[in-house]
Amino acid sequence: MMDLYRRTVTRFPLGSVSYMFAYGSGVKQQVGYGEIGAKPAPNSVIDLVFCVRDSLGFHAENIHRHPSHYSALRHLGPRFVARYQERVGAGVYFNTLVPLQDLGLTIKYGVVSQESLIEDLKHWRHLYLAGRLQKPVTDLVNPDDNPLLKSALDQNLLSALLVALLLLPERFTAYDLFLAIAGLSYKGDFRMIFGENKQKVHNIVTPQISEFFALYQPSMSRLEPYLAVNMHGQEPGTRKPAILFEQDKSRLATSQHLRRMPKELRRRLQSNAASRGDFPEVVEHLSLSPLLPKVLQASVNDIVWRSSVTQSVKNIASAGVFKSLIYSYRKAQKTFAV
């Protein structure tokens, strides 16, 4: 598949691309979908994201090379497209259902500025691409050579782990942990009410436990004073050892985790907590409250709901009404087929 991805992306203007990844059911194994092989399954869509240093330059060159990828918005010029990308929704511009007939596949690709992506990763302003990057993806450009971006990617994973710990009890399984993490960017998504499979989070996590563990192991190492990992018995129906966790649920540990929440989540917690005062006072209140998991989940959902609505509306214009209807129909087909 990596060779196919390389042949796919080389047709795009890569001069300002600082990071690129592939994600979704066409890339990562999910329950209910065919085995991921050397070639994509028929009717599958490969999802890509280009993180660029210069959105205007990327769109100017890409519209010149591939005008058919864009909706009628291309007629307003690359400057308008770049502004539409940055100022509306979650800061991503998607071209949907783009057929690459010479390779025998269909792609959907998003374009995001490096500045916007780093802000979402660090502060959870939209928890949109940050949410996608809390799950295993396939890197097509290695972020390790970009210290600012790599630091933001690591911080996003640590934030997701901290929130999951606050939502979970003292003892839990690896499945519980990764289900909580993967669910952060789905539970508040309005598309989960209709159009998405209600078992989607389970379907993502179940076949990817080992990939989740590899992704989050560095973050777990940073939380060793608060988190212990044990092997005990076997996972039901398998010969694999069950991975069990035990965490420190003391008031001190809870306070420490809350203080490390991303900026936008702190703002939402301050708004949703039944406490007046600045954030340290809210932390003091929530660290003792049995309602912390409920308030925390509601605060995460607030961020996701807003970005999922605004980005979905934005995608209608960037994809065009006809492609949007086809894409929604295919999503519905997959939902009822799984």
Averaged pLDDT for residues 218-247: 81
Residue 338 lies in a domain: no
Count of structural domains, the chain: 1
| Position with higher pLDDT, 289 vs 44 | 289
β-bridge mates for residue 47, sequence order:
23, 108
pLDDT tens, residue by residue, 74-94: 999 999 999 999 999 999 999
- Between CA 183 and CA 163 the distance in angstroms is 11
- Identify whether 269 is part of a domain: yes
Residue 89 backbone zone (phi > 0: left; psi -120 to 50: alpha; other: beta): left
> Chain-wide mean pLDDT for the chain?
89
Which pLDDT value is given to residue 216?
98
pTM: 0.90
Q: Average of pLDDT values for 115-129?
A: 97
Within-domain flag for 167: yes
Q: Report yes or no on 104 lying in a domain.
A: yes
Please, is 221 exposed, middle or buried when counting C-beta atoms within 10 Å of its C-beta (0-12, 13-18, 19+)? exposed
The answer to whether the beta carbons of residues 108 and 23 sit under 8 Å apart is no
Residue 142 lies in a domain: no
Q: Which residues contact 115 (CB under 8 A, 6 or more apart)?
A: none
Residue 55 has pLDDT above 50, yes or no: yes
pLDDT at 337 (0 to 100) = 47
Burial of 185 (0-12, 13-18, 19+ CB in 10 A): buried
Strand partners, 230: 244
Sheet order of strands, 45-52 included: 92-100, 105-113, 45-52, 17-23, 138-141
- Encoded amino acid at 193, one letter: I
Task: Name the token pair of 277.
Answer: 């005062």
pLDDT bin (cut points 50, 70, 90) of residue 242 is confident
94: domain range?
1-137+147-333
The answer as to whether 315 is a domain residue is yes
As a whole number of angstroms, the distance between CA 158 and CA 156 comes to: 5
The Cα 166–Cα 237 span in angstroms is 29
Q: What is the DSSP letter of 31?
A: T
Measured over the CA atoms of residue 121, residue 125, residue 128 and residue 134, the dihedral's sign is positive
Residue 180 reports pLDDT greater than 90: yes
Cα 144 to its chain centre, rounded Å, is: 19
Percent of the chain topping pLDDT 90 = 70
- What pLDDT does 231 receive? 67
